[in-house]
Structure 1
Amino acid sequence: MAQPNPEKETESIDAPGDSRTDAPPIPSDHLQNACKPTILLQELCRSHKYIRTHDDSAIVERPERLRSVAIGLSGAIARLEQCIQSLSSSLALVSSIDDVKIKPEPQATAGDELAQALEGLTLSSPAKPLSVTNIVDVIKSASKVDLATNPAVKFIHGDIDGPGYIDQFISWASESHNKIANGGSEIPEGLNQGDLYLCPESLDAVSGALGTVCEAVDLVVNHTASDKITIPQVNDSPEKRTTDPRHAFVLIRPPGHHCGEDTPSGFCFVNNVMVAAAHAHMKHNINRVIVLDIDLHHGNGTQSIAWSINEETYRKELEREGREDATASAIATEGPKGLKVFYGSLHDILSFPCEDGNSALIQAASTSIHGPHGQWIENQHLVEYTTDEEFYKNVYPGYLKLLDRARDFAISMCQTEEVLVFISCGFDASVHEYPSMSRHGRRVPTSFYHRFTADICDFASTYAKGRVISVLEGGYSLRALSSGAFAHLFGLVNPSHDVVDDSFWSVENLTKLEKATGAKTRRSSVVPPETWLQRSVEVLAVLDPPQPKSATNRLKTAEAIPERRSTREKKKPPVETPPVSKQSTQKGATKKTDIASAPPDGIAALPSEPLNLKTEELPPSEKKVPRVILRVNPPKDLSSDS
């Protein structure tokens, strides 16, 4: 199959009715139920780099993805401020970025050994939330976890058979520089060379990503904010909206939903969302977790882990109930409840990991089971549509089955205090994603990321005390990421459906935003006079400031890995939901035979337009921060996948 030309790929598809550039302000009565979400950023996630060759131009899971999302968030904040400013001077725009105030670091509570281990996330300096605006709080997290000893990591990725997976992962990353320098690959044989890569600093990136998502759990469950950087505002009102961080968006990489208990795949080395779920369970007694996955690709790793956890909890429940001497009072006081997980996914069944027709993976990605054997899984497949009107009339109601099934799970399980909702938030189903990434015609309009997010938040307000944590998964083109994040933040703030104008993320306005933020050029851009664009540039300077020049990756000596014990029993997942196989298809190739014919550097995947997100203030190209991979110079007859 002929490969698409990355230079000619377009990343945007004009949607009907996307011509307007401005919209009327939101009426005040529609903002009464708006939430003030928290955005969590992690600088360490930039350090995960591709180092096999100097040419990473075809790598799509790259650090610049973080800037693309930040651009969309900046535009959303500016638009929300614009709407609210017309209603109340107490929610005026931010005019400067100074007067930094840092609150003292809270003291850790002594006592419980497990709690102390879970508290040991902030290993360097305290998190520094930025009160950029009254619309959101922004935290530049300094949290990390110890990959070798953290209880939540061991709960999800602990030993099953043989050497522990996390021990192996630490070794792969620590030795990656030397392995590559000696002509080898840092990724072991048997794993997909085309969609996995590591460098020594990947350990920091993964540790920081997990620390940040666990910090988000603490923030949302406790409804408290960490140390905060306060930025004064024009016409600052003495009365501020009370910080109630029920909704959080965690901007981290590498993604996680393809990683099973011991099977990295599809850019993913640890399962960020499931580690966060384990942290919530072990530290905060969250016994029921709902994961809603809206990435283009099925989260086979998350489903496999959820199945294993549910199976174990169900078995223990049966053992308790089956004991002859068991009484209701004895069972009730015997110990904490086991964790149960609802996993609901909306994905393209024709794409990775199902694209090569693997029957087990296709069956897993089509599973629908609600209660029997203790399992709660719902999969919905993306379908084609022609107009936005058709999408919301005929298609969208089917996607809401995920929430219907999640509702059944929540009602049958427990009280709302025990429920926490996660969104595995991928933006690669966007109409603006690279055609080479989403070439089966299964897409969603940008407005989906607002509407479905708002529907999730409405659901959570009834069944989970309003607590929603969204974690970045996939999404690769600049416009897919920026437009998706733009609409997604509107959903997390959650103004009423009938007052949000889709023209905010029209192609015309997205183009203006890209030009204003220098996303499409290395030269400084002249910011147009429109207020929202000027404000977007100001906010972006806080969310994603110019990066300092970074040195090339240096080999780190791996620290001694202490002996570990898993904190939960583990069994291989049953046949009904196959585990993520090390021999399963990769994002970077459509057939196993293609892997063998991949170029020596091991990258075989779709061509894709590189993301040029630099401005004059950012480091020169030779100093760019890390990027991710899909293909480097595949053979002409290689048919690849993402």
Structure 2
Amino acid sequence: MTTPVLLYYDMRMLGHNPHGWDPANPAWTEAVKAMITLQYPGSDLQTYSHPERPDRLTAIVDRLMLEPIEGVRWMLPSAATTAQIERVHDKNYVAKIESLAGESCWLAKDTTAISPGSVEAASLAAGAGISAVEAISGGAARRAFCVLRPPGHHAHSDHASGFCLYNNIAVTAAHARESLGYQRVMIWDWDMHHGNGTQEIFYSDPSVLVVDSHCAAPFYPGSGLLHDTGAGAGVGSQLNVPLPPGSGNAALLKVFDEVVKPAAKAFQPDILLVSSGFDCHYLDMICAMDETGFAILTQRMSDLADELCDGRLVVLLEGGYNAKALADSAHAVVNVLAGIRVNSFNVMPDDPGCAAVADAVQFLKRKGSGKEPPLEN
């Protein structure tokens, strides 16, 4: 039996295209080339393509169109308003980004840049999660998947980084709490990179529980250490699980079974959100997951949502830079959200991430929160 799934997408998000070569701004173009040469010494500047490019989304959308999934309803997101974005971002920062509409410029040395359509795309990306949680709150469905860019989880409260302008999942979580009455929001970030912006925004907030599994430092952005568990009233609300390169499906499933699920049962969230990067896929960078792994994670999260929060689950796209990996993984995730159960998934004989998960679990059980342990014993 299929389950209705709301799929949010707007082709205007393709207008974000920071390719770096802007004839009208030669100084900016030269700065971009210098930074690429520094960060990627072997790059051919004539053929270089920014990894956060429009075909990330078209790969996903084309696959979902060619192989439609019963129960999926395509939805247009509303752009986030300035006030909605300012719930998690500094007013001066938001004003700065809004002032760059129609411009091209370089925002950070980690190759974060904008093109003339980027500000509109970022507002739509931030609004996609808001549109999803509002529709779910209104009873239109229980599941949603947001095909969006630019991604968000590296965006801090007061600056852009890691290809991210606005922190889409943070904007979504804040809206769920402040406008829709969801008192406890839980986020699992399974992107290969640590969501340093999300951590910073919610680090002292006990109403938002963040679990972040990612490649361990010094891999970009070099944050998300085990002992980073929150501050002040938010101690225990940030659970980091650093993993070694080569981690695969078994390691991420272990993260769910031994960190996400027990933490959720202790926290009792009103809604579950996922920062869903697909760059842990073996076709992408340095990890070893595949689409069957993302499918089983989605199934476990769907079951957890059914158990704890009346099925409310919203998945927002983050990273992932290989077109085939993106298309395969997103299709697998939406298929599960639509109620197709997973019968099997691939597991490496010796997944190097499993030992790291075990170490994280032991640390988190010892650490606790000062009030109650973040993980059930």
TM-score (normalised: structure 1) = 0.47
Code of the aligned partner of 2:62: I
Code of the aligned partner of 2:147: L
**What's the counterpart of residue 323 of structure 2?**
478
**What's the counterpart of residue 47 of structure 1?**
15
Structure 2 CA distance for partners of 1:267 and 1:385, relative to 1, 3 Å? closer
Task: Describe how 1:291-440 pairs up with structure 2 within 5 A.
Answer: 291-310=187-206, 340-350=207-217, 351-354=219-222, 361=223, 364-367=224-227, 369=229, 373-375=233-235, 376-383=237-244, 392=250, 396-411=253-268, 419-433=270-284, 438-439=285-286
**What's the counterpart of residue 553 of structure 1?**
none
**What's the counterpart of residue 187 of structure 1?**
106
**What's the counterpart of residue 59 of structure 1?**
50
1:487 matches 2:304? no
CA displacement, residues 100-145 of structure 1 (integer Å, 9 cap, x when unaligned): xxxxxxxxxxxxxxxxxxxxxxxxxxxxxxxxxx42111133x123
Preserved contact between residue 215 and residue 245 of structure 2 (Cα < 8 Å): no
Preserved contact between residue 410 and residue 463 of structure 1 (Cα < 8 Å): no
Displacement of 1:295 in angstroms is: 0.6
Displacement of 1:345 in angstroms is: 1.1
Preserved contact between residue 379 and residue 402 of structure 1 (Cα < 8 Å): no
Preserved contact between residue 449 and residue 491 of structure 1 (Cα < 8 Å): no
Displacement of 1:422 in angstroms is: 0.7
1:210 matches 2:107? no
Task: Describe how 1:525-564 pairs up with structure 2 within 5 A.
Answer: none
Preserved contact between residue 292 and residue 402 of structure 1 (Cα < 8 Å): no
Code of the aligned partner of 1:297: H
Displacement of 1:382 in angstroms is: 3.1
Structure 2 CA distance for partners of 1:456 and 1:473, relative to 1, 3 Å? same
Work out the CA distance in 1 between the residues paired with 2:345 and 2:225: 34
CA displacement, residues 119-177 of structure 1 (integer Å, 9 cap, x when unaligned): xxxxxxxxxxxxxxx42111133x12333xx2x21110134xxxx11112223x24735
Preserved contact between residue 80 and residue 123 of structure 2 (Cα < 8 Å): yes
**What's the counterpart of residue 80 of structure 2?**
145
Code of the aligned partner of 1:423: V
Work out the CA distance in 2 between the residues paired with 1:492 and 1:154: 31
**What's the counterpart of residue 94 of structure 2?**
166
CA displacement, residues 344-373 of structure 1 (integer Å, 9 cap, x when unaligned): 11111142111xxxxxx3xx3324648984
**What's the counterpart of residue 457 of structure 1?**
302
Preserved contact between residue 298 and residue 365 of structure 1 (Cα < 8 Å): no
Structure 2 CA distance for partners of 1:374 and 1:385, relative to 1, 3 Å? closer
Local SS of the residue matching 2:185:
strand
Local SS of the residue matching 2:88:
helix
Code of the aligned partner of 1:260: H
Displacement of 1:308 in angstroms is: 3.6
Local SS of the residue matching 1:396:
helix
TM-score (normalised: structure 2) = 0.77
Code of the aligned partner of 2:203: W
Local SS of the residue matching 2:199:
helix
Work out the CA distance in 2 between the residues paired with 1:501 and 1:347: 21
| Structure showing the higher strand proportion among its residues | 2
Displacement of 1:402 in angstroms is: 3.2
Local SS of the residue matching 1:197:
strand
Comparing both chains, which one has the higher relative contact order based on Cα–Cα distances under 8 Å and sequence gaps of 6 or more? 1
Task: Describe how 1:2-17 pairs up with structure 2 within 5 A.
Answer: none
**What's the counterpart of residue 176 of structure 1?**
103
Displacement of 1:264 in angstroms is: 0.9
Preserved contact between residue 345 and residue 402 of structure 1 (Cα < 8 Å): no
Local SS of the residue matching 1:469:
strand
**What's the counterpart of residue 254 of structure 1?**
150
**What's the counterpart of residue 86 of structure 2?**
154
Work out the CA distance in 2 between the residues paired with 1:45 and 1:144: 11
Structure 2: state its 5+ residue gaps: 23-45, 347-377
Work out the CA distance in 1 between the residues paired with 2:246 and 2:151: 28
What value does the CA root-mean-square deviation take over the aligned residues? Answer: 2.6
Structure 2 CA distance for partners of 1:72 and 1:432, relative to 1, 3 Å? farther
Work out the CA distance in 2 between the residues paired with 1:211 and 1:39: 13
Displacement of 1:196 in angstroms is: 1.0
Structure 2 CA distance for partners of 1:365 and 1:480, relative to 1, 3 Å? farther
Work out the CA distance in 2 between the residues paired with 1:372 and 1:487: 39
Local SS of the residue matching 2:134:
helix
The higher radius of gyration belongs to 1
Code of the aligned partner of 2:220: F
**What's the counterpart of residue 543 of structure 1?**
none
**What's the counterpart of residue 70 of structure 1?**
61
| Structure showing the higher helix proportion among its residues | 2
Work out the CA distance in 2 between the residues paired with 1:384 and 1:166: 35
Work out the CA distance in 2 between the residues paired with 1:195 and 1:201: 17
Displacement of 1:426 in angstroms is: 0.5
Work out the CA distance in 2 between the residues paired with 1:285 and 1:219: 14
Local SS of the residue matching 2:8:
strand
Preserved contact between residue 295 and residue 428 of structure 1 (Cα < 8 Å): yes
Code of the aligned partner of 1:378: L
Structure 2 CA distance for partners of 1:371 and 1:496, relative to 1, 3 Å? farther
Displacement of 1:52 in angstroms is: 3.6
Structure 1: state its 5+ residue gaps: 1-30, 81-133, 178-185, 225-244, 311-339, 355-360, 503-642
Preserved contact between residue 383 and residue 443 of structure 1 (Cα < 8 Å): no
Displacement of 1:51 in angstroms is: 5.5
Code of the aligned partner of 1:158: D
The correspondence for 1:135, drawn from 67, 71, 78, is 71
Code of the aligned partner of 2:184: R
